[in-house]
A and B are shown apart, each in its own frame.
Chain A
Amino acid sequence: MAKYEKILLKNMEQPGYTGSLKEYEQTGGYQAFRKVCEGMAPSDIIETVKLSGLRGRGGAGFPTGVKWSFIPKDHPGPKYLCCNADESEPGTFKDRQLMERDPHQVLEGMAITCYTIGAETAYIYIRGEFWLGAKVLDQAIAEAKKAGYLGSNVLGTGKTINIFVHRGAGAYICGEETALLESLEGKRGKPRFKPPFPATHGLYQKPTVVNNVETLANIPHILNKGAAWFAAIGAPPKGTGTRIFCLSGHIKRPGNYEVPMGVTFREMIYEIGGGMRSDKPLKAFIPGGASAPFLTPEHLDVKMDFESLAMAGSMLGSGGITVMEEGTSMVWAALRLMEFFYHESCGKCTPCREGSSWLVQTLQRISRREGRMSDLDLLLDLCKSIEGRTVCAFGEAEVSPIVSTMRHWRSEYEELIREAEAAHPVKQEIPVLSQI
């Protein structure tokens, strides 16, 4: 277990660490920000982050330095940073721990990012249920302000950096960056179509960076120890650094584990996670949050980095690994997720809004043993008509449970349908033109 050096969870795993400013400073906290404030050029910071190979931890894995470089440099008027702390992806619970247990690490990352992109105001859009996280962050912000890290004239640079915590009201879609911005503006949380991207037309149509909590928490370390140090960790060149994986499901030791990218699922599940809960064989796992397509035991040796997972037909996503043991019904698992997606579809665009309700009803019918064989092709047709046709990436996410379980376990669907057909024989179809 102590095999891998931790970066983000290191402090908080020290016994007695409470995450106060004093303790954070004692572990070298805010040194990176001090260094930056001593006059580092924003362009140098961006270069460092680019060289580190850091990619977004929110789901899409976009290179962070590149994202920052899209902010127009001499744009008059305000620019914003938004920290995406909505963490609503089923099976994902890492940001919560980062915020509750070591808030200053996140704040320092935000302060550096603000400095870099020239934002005076930053928001932490935090999932509404994370009331503790919101409280801890508010206290930490107050501490940091008092210590001169935040507020006006931070560390004597003459710059202003203010961070505000904004609590969401309970919609998964508000984790999508443009829906987050709408919600922050006080509107209904619905995604905007892109382009334009937040980098040019973000919060209040001003240049805006949206970064995940974990992404931002990495920033101070990269600046402290250098791009080369970070770039050497994990699975370079495209999967650098560590990731906090959230293990859940039929596993012995569920929880958050920070490991370098590139560790295999086998190691993660059987060594780090202690193996299957009731020692039944593994049947399936979701490798990166509910939006990531299901994988099978055949994929246990796939490495946990962006590229390897893409090649295996799934994605690293948010880092939430949900493990399912033999005996779990895959139709049920897909239905359970589909019910989630149906509930969370914001309803903005037709394919997702109508498709999610159609999919969920059809799946429910199949589960109730009232399905027909033709439903299977219909399900896949519907999925195809959703994927790539929606405003936001929710469309791709919602079809992945069905598409991937059908890919690997179609027979389970067929089985349920055969039972249905046995119970309710299909009557002969009435011909359209009878011989009158």
Chain B
Amino acid sequence: MSEHTTTGMVTVTIDDVTASVPKGTLVIEAARQLGVMIPHFCYHPKLAPDANCRMCLVEIEKMPRLQTSCSTQVTEGMVVRSSVPTVKQARKSVLDFILANHPLDCPVCDQGGRCDLQDFSHEYTASGTKFVELKRVFQKEYFSPVIETQMNRCVQCLRCVRYCDEVMDVRALAPAGRGTLTKIKSFGVHELDCEFCGGCVQICPVGAITSRLSMYEFRPWMLKRTESTCGYCGDGCQMTFQAKDNDLIEVNSTLGVGRNNGDLCSRGYFGYHANVHEDRLQSPMIRCDGELVEVPWEEALAVVAEKLTAIKSANGADAIGGLIASRCTNEDLYLFQKFMRVVIGTNQLDSSARYGHMNGIHALQRVQGTHRWSMSFDDLLSANAILTVGTNLTETNPITALKVKEAVKRRGAELITVEALEPAIGTISNIALLSTHHLPLAPDQFASGTIGLLKAVIQENLVDAELVAHAKDYIDAIKKQVDAISWTDIEARTGLTAEIFQDSAKVFTRAERAVILVGQGVLRSQGGYGMTLNLMDLLVLTGKLNRIGCGLAPLAEENNDQGSVEMGAVSELLPGGKDCRSREAQQSLEAAWGCSLPSGEEGTLMDMLGKAKRGILKAMIIVGENPIGSLPPDSGIEDAIGKLEFLVCQELFLTDTAKRADVIFPACSYAEKDGTFTSTEGHTQAVRKAIEPLGESRPDWEILSALSVMMDHPLEYESVKAIGKEMRDLMPGTRTLGPSPLPPRPCLDTLTQYLQEGYQDTLATRYCLPGMKATHTFVLNVGQSIFHSGKFSTRAKGLIQIQSQGVLSMHPEDAERLGLACGDGVCLENQLGQVKTTVKLSDRIPCGVLFFPEHFDQDIQRLFAVSVDNDTHVPYFKCAHVEVSKAS
């Protein structure tokens, strides 16, 4: 649709109704707007018209024959008839043709009851068929572990193929054969190997492509629908849980709903079983004689309340710390921080947003005074240039990736990709293939890449003229820094010449609307905060910081990283993302809460662990977070947790951390509770209860609320709605109603302050190139796979069927040099230890780089050293330098 010019309106008459619609509208869409439903199979608003099914034929005055309304654009004065006898006969005949070979196995078809072919047949061909010949029958063929095909049912509309190509850019499917013998197949002789987004399943109008996860388990009318928000990544997809007998049967998404607009990724579509995994903790447990034993809720709560009260009175409130996962709802997060600040009375609290997202937040706050993007998700679509840095976009934020694909493929945006990625064609999509300027880097050199771009901006005189007039000192200071760094040094680290940086910088500067996407490769890597600030400098220097449609967007990895920040579930921020040291913020919160805030020092995750090791922190409440699983041994996490006198975990599963707990409260998953999540863009969206809590599990907020009562500081709420109301009264931007909120504008006072002096203190540390690895070593990077999210998804049976283990990816050239073949055992070694794993060849990653999916990294973590950011206290442990040898 986007290619059509939509300037001006034209008048059309469809079935005697006259109205004016934008010029270029397709007849089928115009009809829909006028309330006339034209039956169709191959048309889909997301796809370019293909006009192959011929179901949508209509009569158009002055045109010789019936026309396909899905491919014809309205013109001024057009008169369309969709219910005259010829049109009806045409529809009936198309259905007769389709039904000739269609198996009519509706009783065993999962699409039955929500099938376009059933519905249209019911409406347009009440009579039987005249077809007495033999039906074409395909043998059943195995397709893939999670997607099933039944080609006898296929109506050849090619929606699946077109979706996989046009929207996903994966091209895993193709029609093979011709005529009635055409089948939809995966490319190659192997089974389907793709992004497993489920899009083809969802877009198929009949039951020809279905999900194996729910095969034969339901009839659609048995399912209870619940609209909710996906709990995997920060893209915040809107989706529908379909439940039966208190079990999750499947997940769908709906065109026009949410920023995902009907699309999902494999985690959203095939990952729902993690919520209802059989290992879910079902009742509270306390440790008795070293063993965890199940006890009633009252008993467990009483033990915790008593113990925490005792520790508090003996050692002070700051002897207790709290940690929460960003997977929790805003209501959980809000109550958690209120519990810590009010009931316990400490600032020792943190969330998993600390693992990287805080770098983005601090950079935004520092330069533009906001904790949200100053652009919206939709601005990605209207961008003229998009710069991605260390995003691993397809795998980490797949729906953001879809927007980038659409911006480039349909709207002609220029794309600059600074990624640890090679433009190789593979089984999943690759944004490097779409980029106009691709800067492949090792994952420890994103800082060099960023500095290269800044140097090019300065050197090529691309600095905004207005800025030159206002902020000479700032520009000079940066100039001085980049002048001191030579192109030779940059080239040595990036393998890229000045030219590509200059070209990219020009493209970026020239763009009217330019967006920077910052991913985990930056946010979670050494110097992440400094790199993000440098990228903010890029926006400032090119005069784009305060321009509409431009902005820098740190991409959240976890679904509610942004919520953690906004709810104040990190020690330095109060609800609303306010600085916890601001007296003004404290006062207004004290007024709202009717109590005073703790005055003790802040304690972030790493601070707390340090204190625990030193025996200062005695107890921790850990909600849904598994630091032993997340942090490498080098962090001393085992020691820290071991030294705690008392550990309480609210958990879904018996994680490595929960195994150490003195008390475990069984929490329920987000499928079992109401609340909200805030997407990476800052849009607060509803989470709704699809099934009843499993066993005796309870929502996290309820557990904390119960504890507060028993600790004589009651934080009582009638329901989760009451928490929501309190949140909204405190923070007007957290309403769930309506579409995305308007993004905040940069605060000019903050910007002025930044340009005058705010930039100075970090300048020297962030404008310097990272060290280089020794030539014979590799940069080992752990990061996200498209099929998983954290460790949670490894409990989803669908995702485990797609990817059940971690293997090390290596570029084929490196492998050849080392005499390694796919599937060979390798030994990785550095000063921290030695690990054995299996290697897989992938020309998607650059030479000299090794990639390992973090979801399976328990073993490999030993090789990573942890360092902590001075400014943001973010722990860095995603990259290591290792030597590789063939395992004997």
Name A residues whose Cβ lies closer than 8 Å to a Cβ of B: 171, 188, 193, 342-351, 353-358, 361-362, 365, 378, 385, 388-391
Asked if A361 and B96 sit within 8 Å, CB to CB, the answer is: no
17 A-B pairs with C-beta separation under 8 A: A171-B178, A188-B174, A188-B175, A345-B179, A347-B181, A348-B156, A349-B53, A357-B136, A358-B131, A385-B93, A385-B94, A385-B97, A388-B66, A389-B93, A390-B54, A391-B51, A391-B52
Compute how far the CA of A171 lies from the CA of B182 in the bound complex, rounded to whole angstroms. 14
Compute how far the CA of A192 lies from the CA of B136 in the bound complex, rounded to whole angstroms. 26
Contacts of B155 in A (CB 8 A): 350
Judge whether B84 is part of the interface by a CB distance below 8 angstroms. Answer: no
Asked if A356 and B179 sit within 8 Å, CB to CB, the answer is: yes
Judge whether B459 is part of the interface by a CB distance below 8 angstroms. Answer: no
Tell which of B55, B65, B97, B179 touches A346, judged by Cβ atoms closer than 8 Å. Answer: B179
Judge whether B62 is part of the interface by a CB distance below 8 angstroms. Answer: no
Chain B's closest residue to A361 (CB) is B133
Compute how far the CA of A347 lies from the CA of B89 in the bound complex, rounded to whole angstroms. 22
- Max chain B C-beta neighbours (<10 A), residue from A350, A351, A353: A350
Asked if B51 and A347 sit within 8 Å, CB to CB, the answer is: no
Tell which of A347, A356, A357 touches B156, judged by Cβ atoms closer than 8 Å. Answer: A347
Contacts of B174 in A (CB 8 A): 188
Compute how far the CA of A351 lies from the CA of B51 in the bound complex, rounded to whole angstroms. 12
Asked if A357 and B94 sit within 8 Å, CB to CB, the answer is: no
Contacts of A389 in B (CB 8 A): 54, 57, 65-66, 90, 93-94
Compute how far the CA of A353 lies from the CA of B51 in the bound complex, rounded to whole angstroms. 14
Chain A's closest residue to B70 (CB) is A193
Contacts of B93 in A (CB 8 A): 351, 385, 389
Given known pairs A347-B156, A349-B54, the reply for A354 and B98 (CB within 8 Å) is yes
Compute how far the CA of A362 lies from the CA of B57 in the bound complex, rounded to whole angstroms. 26
Tell which of A193, A347, A390 touches B180, judged by Cβ atoms closer than 8 Å. Answer: A347
Tell which of B57, B71, B96 touches A193, judged by Cβ atoms closer than 8 Å. Answer: B71
Asked if B52 and A354 sit within 8 Å, CB to CB, the answer is: no
Judge whether B838 is part of the interface by a CB distance below 8 angstroms. Answer: no
Judge whether B467 is part of the interface by a CB distance below 8 angstroms. Answer: no
Contacts of A188 in B (CB 8 A): 174-175
Name B residues whose Cβ lies closer than 8 Å to a Cβ of A: 49-55, 57, 65-66, 68, 71, 89-90, 93-94, 96-98, 100-101, 130-131, 133-134, 136, 155-156, 174-175, 177-182
Chain B's closest residue to A387 (CB) is B65
- Max chain B C-beta neighbours (<10 A), residue from A343, A361, A389: A389
Compute how far the CA of A87 lies from the CA of B155 in the bound complex, rounded to whole angstroms. 30
Given known pairs A188-B175, A357-B101, the reply for A350 and B180 (CB within 8 Å) is no
Given contacts A188-B175, A350-B54, 13 further A-B contacts (CB under 8 A): A193-B71, A342-B179, A346-B178, A347-B179, A350-B156, A351-B54, A353-B156, A354-B97, A354-B180, A361-B133, A378-B130, A389-B65, A391-B54
Compute how far the CA of A343 lies from the CA of B71 in the bound complex, rounded to whole angstroms. 27
Asked if A357 and B66 sit within 8 Å, CB to CB, the answer is: no
Compute how far the CA of A125 lies from the CA of B182 in the bound complex, rounded to whole angstroms. 24
Chain A's closest residue to B133 (CB) is A361
Given known pairs A348-B52, A358-B97, A361-B134, the reply for A343 and B57 (CB within 8 Å) is no
Given known pairs A351-B94, A365-B133, the reply for A345 and B54 (CB within 8 Å) is no
Nearest CB of chain B from residue A176's CB, rounded to whole Å:
13
Contacts of B55 in A (CB 8 A): 350
- Max chain B C-beta neighbours (<10 A), residue from A348, A351, A354, A388: A354
Asked if B51 and A193 sit within 8 Å, CB to CB, the answer is: yes
Given known pairs A193-B71, A351-B94, A385-B90, the reply for A357 and B179 (CB within 8 Å) is yes
SS class of chain B's interface: helix, strand, loop or mixed?
A: loop
Compute how far the CA of A292 lies from the CA of B133 in the bound complex, rounded to whole angstroms. 27
- Max chain A C-beta neighbours (<10 A), residue from B89, B96, B179, B180: B179
Contacts of B51 in A (CB 8 A): 193, 349, 391
Compute how far the CA of A349 lies from the CA of B97 in the bound complex, rounded to whole angstroms. 11
Chain A's closest residue to B57 (CB) is A389
Nearest CB of chain B from residue A369's CB, rounded to whole Å:
15
Given known pairs A342-B179, A357-B136, A391-B51, the reply for A385 and B96 (CB within 8 Å) is yes
Given known pairs A349-B54, A351-B54, A358-B133, the reply for A343 and B175 (CB within 8 Å) is no
Contacts of A361 in B (CB 8 A): 133-134
Tell which of A344, A347, A356, A391 touches B182, judged by Cβ atoms closer than 8 Å. Answer: A347
Compute how far the CA of A255 lies from the CA of B579 in the bound complex, rounded to whole angstroms. 92
A-B pairs with lowest CB-CB distance, top 9 = A385-B93, A354-B97, A361-B133, A193-B51, A347-B182, A345-B179, A388-B65, A357-B180, A347-B179
Compute how far the CA of A342 lies from the CA of B181 in the bound complex, rounded to whole angstroms. 11
Compute how far the CA of A378 lies from the CA of B132 in the bound complex, rounded to whole angstroms. 11
Compute how far the CA of A193 lies from the CA of B50 in the bound complex, rounded to whole angstroms. 7
Nearest CB of chain B from residue A294's CB, rounded to whole Å:
23
Contacts of B97 in A (CB 8 A): 350-351, 353-355, 358, 385
Nearest CB of chain A from residue B215's CB, rounded to whole Å:
27
Compute how far the CA of A344 lies from the CA of B54 in the bound complex, rounded to whole angstroms. 19
Nearest CB of chain A from residue B119's CB, rounded to whole Å:
17
Contacts of A351 in B (CB 8 A): 54, 93-94, 97
Nearest CB of chain B from residue A248's CB, rounded to whole Å:
26
Nearest CB of chain B from residue A299's CB, rounded to whole Å:
26
Asked if A354 and B100 sit within 8 Å, CB to CB, the answer is: yes
Compute how far the CA of A391 lies from the CA of B605 in the bound complex, rounded to whole angstroms. 64
Asked if A349 and B52 sit within 8 Å, CB to CB, the answer is: yes
Compute how far the CA of A390 lies from the CA of B94 in the bound complex, rounded to whole angstroms. 11
Contacts of A193 in B (CB 8 A): 49-51, 68, 71
Nearest CB of chain A from residue B121's CB, rounded to whole Å:
14
Nearest CB of chain B from residue A282's CB, rounded to whole Å:
34
Nearest CB of chain B from residue A338's CB, rounded to whole Å:
12
Nearest CB of chain A from residue B817's CB, rounded to whole Å:
34
Compute how far the CA of A350 lies from the CA of B93 in the bound complex, rounded to whole angstroms. 10
Contacts of B179 in A (CB 8 A): 342-347, 353, 356-357
Contacts of B90 in A (CB 8 A): 385, 389
Chain B's closest residue to A364 (CB) is B133
Compute how far the CA of A362 lies from the CA of B131 in the bound complex, rounded to whole angstroms. 9
Contacts of A346 in B (CB 8 A): 178-179
Contacts of B181 in A (CB 8 A): 347
Compute how far the CA of A188 lies from the CA of B156 in the bound complex, rounded to whole angstroms. 14
Chain B's closest residue to A345 (CB) is B179
Nearest CB of chain A from residue B495's CB, rounded to whole Å:
32
Asked if B175 and A347 sit within 8 Å, CB to CB, the answer is: yes
Compute how far the CA of A391 lies from the CA of B768 in the bound complex, rounded to whole angstroms. 61
Chain B's closest residue to A395 (CB) is B54
Compute how far the CA of A389 lies from the CA of B86 in the bound complex, rounded to whole angstroms. 11
Asked if B49 and A358 sit within 8 Å, CB to CB, the answer is: no
Chain A's closest residue to B130 (CB) is A378
Chain A's closest residue to B64 (CB) is A388
Compute how far the CA of A347 lies from the CA of B158 in the bound complex, rounded to whole angstroms. 11
Nearest CB of chain A from residue B165's CB, rounded to whole Å:
10
Chain A's closest residue to B181 (CB) is A347
Asked if B130 and A350 sit within 8 Å, CB to CB, the answer is: no
Compute how far the CA of A356 lies from the CA of B89 in the bound complex, rounded to whole angstroms. 19
Tell which of A345, A349, A358 touches B100, judged by Cβ atoms closer than 8 Å. Answer: A358
Contacts of A350 in B (CB 8 A): 52-55, 94, 97-98, 155-156
Nearest CB of chain B from residue A193's CB, rounded to whole Å:
4
Given known pairs A385-B97, A389-B93, the reply for A353 and B133 (CB within 8 Å) is no
Compute how far the CA of A350 lies from the CA of B205 in the bound complex, rounded to whole angstroms. 15
Asked if A353 and B134 sit within 8 Å, CB to CB, the answer is: no
Nearest CB of chain A from residue B822's CB, rounded to whole Å:
28
Nearest CB of chain A from residue B54's CB, rounded to whole Å:
5
Chain A's closest residue to B53 (CB) is A350
Contacts of A348 in B (CB 8 A): 52, 156
Contacts of B49 in A (CB 8 A): 193
Contacts of A353 in B (CB 8 A): 97, 156, 179-180, 182
Nearest CB of chain B from residue A174's CB, rounded to whole Å:
11
Compute how far the CA of A361 lies from the CA of B135 in the bound complex, rounded to whole angstroms. 10
Chain A's closest residue to B131 (CB) is A358
Contacts of B89 in A (CB 8 A): 385
Compute how far the CA of A266 lies from the CA of B71 in the bound complex, rounded to whole angstroms. 45
Contacts of B177 in A (CB 8 A): 347
